[in-house]
Structure 1
Amino acid sequence: MAAVVEHTHDGVSLIEVNGKKILEKNISFEENQDLELESLRLEEIFSYVNTADTRELHFLLDGYKMSLELAEDGIVQGFGLKSGRAYLSEVYGDHVPADLYEHPMNYLPDDLPTRARILVAAASDARMGGSRLPAMAAMGDGNQGLTAMIPVGTAAEFLGKNEDETIRALALSCLMLFYVKIHIGRAAAFCLCAIAASAGAAAGLAYLMGASEKQLKAAVKNSISPLCGMLCDGAKNACALKMAIASSTAISAVTLAFKDVECGFYDGVADDTLEQTVSCITDIAAGSMDMLDKAMVDEILKKSERRRMEMQKN
């Protein structure tokens, strides 16, 4: 079986089975929309978030609630790697409540980083492991939506923020994700949950905590810098672990920014400004990453062939 995917994750233009074409079509792609987003300045994003009519953005709250339902399903049903279950049970050590996995939302810890990590991982467990519940995608990707929304929504609850403030923070998280992703590329070899969605979460979290524009940009840079080397090796159960790391990094990045810690010019891909930092990663993504993609696919196919041979022997 062979398939060709163009432009976007769902842009399937060709499917062949045993040498026979069962699907072939031209995939159109609206580049104008991407070009418009690429020209969007961060100041315009900040201005929109502060002035938007939140009644038109209420669907973001629905997306957050949808994400929580998915997280609960991940723990109750024990989907995927069961990483959400593992993170939750770790909180209680040797004294795990008898109904922990039946009513997990009653036992979430009063600790923002840990709670967000549990919920993000559990939601991914469910989505990657076969749950029938929906996830709200962000720029075409459900896992990125979960990573951008759950830490921000959870923080809003912790901080006692009202609905208006929560919606604006969720909007900023998604828009920052869009900003980073549209520059790096929709299907880059990087893990965009780690880079783009974590950047979004950092922005939304910083907004909720009353950050200045300088602190907010520092938080996003602090999130991007340590995660820029994380690669995408396909959609699978282990995405939950990457998303948990992305969530924790976003929260830590904001904490550091408020203590005047900021990755800068002498720190690898980080640069003087957030815009320059994103530009640096964009250049890397547009460079030799095609070779990396091919090497990644080759290794996965090699592994699959090895398993096929092992099964034939048995």
Structure 2
Amino acid sequence: MEKNNIKYKAYIDILKKELVLAKGCTEPIALAYCAAKARSVLGQIPDKVLVEVSGNIIKNCKSVVVPNTGGLKGIETAVAIGIIAGNEKLELEVLKDISEKQITDFKNYLKENKIEIKKSDSNNLLDIKIEAYKGEDKAVVRICHKHTNIVYIQKNDEIILDKNEEEKGETNALRYDLLTIEDIYDFAKSVNIKDIEEIIKRQIDLNTVISKDGLENSYGANIGSTLLKLYGDDIRNVAKAKAAAGSDARMNGSEYPVVVNSGSGNQGLTVSIPVIEYAKKFDIDDDTLYRALVVSNLCAIHQKSKIGYLSAFCGAVSAGAAAGAGIAFLKGGDYKDIAHTIVNALAITSGIICDGAKSSCAAKIAFSVEAGILGYEMYKMGEQFYGGDGVVSKGVEHTIENIGHLGKVGMKETDKEILSIMTCFD
């Protein structure tokens, strides 16, 4: 792909936009960011807060530990730490560099102040509105569609920001529609490494650190270390275990940041760690590793752009298939290898649901990576799933469209039922 090609620039822009840093699970972090912004607009610490959130925010904040809170979970926790200690200028790193005094102040604030939570009537899957009050003063901040996409700001009677419906949309002018698996392969083969080196190196460095943290310390159900104890150091097992270990840590309060993919740190870990581990095992040069990570990242983004950031369809499925594609590229695979790897993987794991962010995400990551690797190895042995096998259609793009429709449209009612089950005992 030529550098002056419109797709070349679009793919660079997508990587820059999607592969960003986040500290903690992105849904509670989005809440903390929104809360920190509301406090900043208000100009003081509020003594009353009203939080309106969509069902998927409730689902993904219920069971995940918020960093720097002493192991606490939930919407109130994320909002309170954002108000007291959040730096809104850092967006998804809003909880970076928090002092011991701020942690003490946060715990006192959580005990002494009222944070009211309501389920939003919005049809948006990702929707957060925070109203913060202090005396006669009021601030309102709303985020829609993406975790840092502020669409509305108000202080008292002054409307500071009010984006129109087009600006509120999910695409933000990025050309996701230009993504295809064949062109992703072409781009990865031809991209000037200098154009993507900084982004990809940061992903390698940071995601490797949190994966190591997950193996060296006890987090959640310790899926990563359990897999290594049970099944040893075969590269297939190491690839999925180390990806899972990053999620073990991230879902349970690790303070290390990750580079996300499609708005998710778990997906960022899934697309990167297995490819990195295969490169280590087979002594692959950095140039090839970087190009393979371009493949895995863009293949995941392509799939998720059809589904949306939040859904009842587990994002690890798309990311695991993409990891398999990255491994295929790493081992010399061509477009057909990558396309068939993705189709095979999606045929295996497309029934995994998202029932919120929590410890079991690590296990879902492990099995999604397993499907990605199996999908690749199947094709290399001359085996594959064919169009008409369930949700699989002839051609990778048609299969991705099917999965996108299933995740975005077909599972809307499933999403509601999952939320109902998750909250029926609250």
Identity %: 27
The aligned counterpart of 2:242 is 119
2: distance between equivalents of 1:287 and 1:32?
18
Which of 25, 29, 35 is 2:142 aligned to? Answer: 25
1:205 aligned to 2:344? no
1:6–1:13 contact (8 Å) kept in structure 2: no
Shift of 1:266: 2.8
1:184 aligned to 2:324? no
**Aligned AA for 1:114?**
N
1:2–1:16 contact (8 Å) kept in structure 2: no
Shift of 1:3: 4.7
Which of 249, 252, 255 is 2:371 aligned to? Answer: 249
Long gaps (5+) in structure 2: 1-116, 145-150, 152-167
2: distance between equivalents of 1:137 and 1:25?
22
The aligned counterpart of 1:88 is 228
**Aligned AA for 1:66?**
L
**Aligned AA for 2:244?**
A
Moved more, 29-38 or 166-175: 29-38
The aligned counterpart of 1:234 is 356
- CA offset digits 1:117-141 (Å, max 9, x no partner): 2201111110001111111101211
1: distance between equivalents of 2:367 and 2:276?
17
- Higher strand proportion (structure 1 or 2): 2
TM-score under structure 1 length normalisation: 0.83
2: distance between equivalents of 1:7 and 1:287?
13
**Aligned AA for 1:206?**
A
User: RMSD of aligned C-alpha atoms?
Assistant: 2.3
Shift of 1:214: 1.5
1:13–1:24 contact (8 Å) kept in structure 2: yes
2: distance between equivalents of 1:6 and 1:164?
43
Which of 66, 82, 98 is 2:206 aligned to? Answer: 66
- CA offset digits 1:232-257 (Å, max 9, x no partner): 00000110100011111111111111
Moved more, 176-185 or 33-42: 33-42
- 3-state SS of 1:25 partner: strand
1:3–1:14 contact (8 Å) kept in structure 2: no
Structure 1 residues 32 and 118: CA distance shift in structure 2, 3 A: closer
Which of 205, 218, 221 is 1:78 aligned to? Answer: 218
1:13 aligned to 2:135? no
1:6–1:12 contact (8 Å) kept in structure 2: no
1: distance between equivalents of 2:354 and 2:173?
22
The aligned counterpart of 1:291 is 413
2:306–2:405 contact (8 Å) kept in structure 1: no
1:184–1:278 contact (8 Å) kept in structure 2: no
Structure 1 residues 23 and 149: CA distance shift in structure 2, 3 A: same
- CA offset digits 1:202-230 (Å, max 9, x no partner): 11111111123222211110111111111
2: distance between equivalents of 1:143 and 1:219?
21
1:222 aligned to 2:338? no
- 3-state SS of 2:258 partner: coil
2:181–2:339 contact (8 Å) kept in structure 1: no
- 3-state SS of 1:175 partner: helix
2:223–2:362 contact (8 Å) kept in structure 1: yes
2: distance between equivalents of 1:258 and 1:76?
35
1: distance between equivalents of 2:370 and 2:403?
21
How many residue pairs were aligned? 282
Runs of 4+ in 1 over 6 A off after TM superposition: none
- Higher helix proportion (structure 1 or 2): 1
1: distance between equivalents of 2:404 and 2:231?
39
Structure 1 residues 39 and 91: CA distance shift in structure 2, 3 A: closer
2: distance between equivalents of 1:7 and 1:52?
36
1:135 aligned to 2:277? no
Which of 147, 153, 167 is 2:276 aligned to? Answer: 153
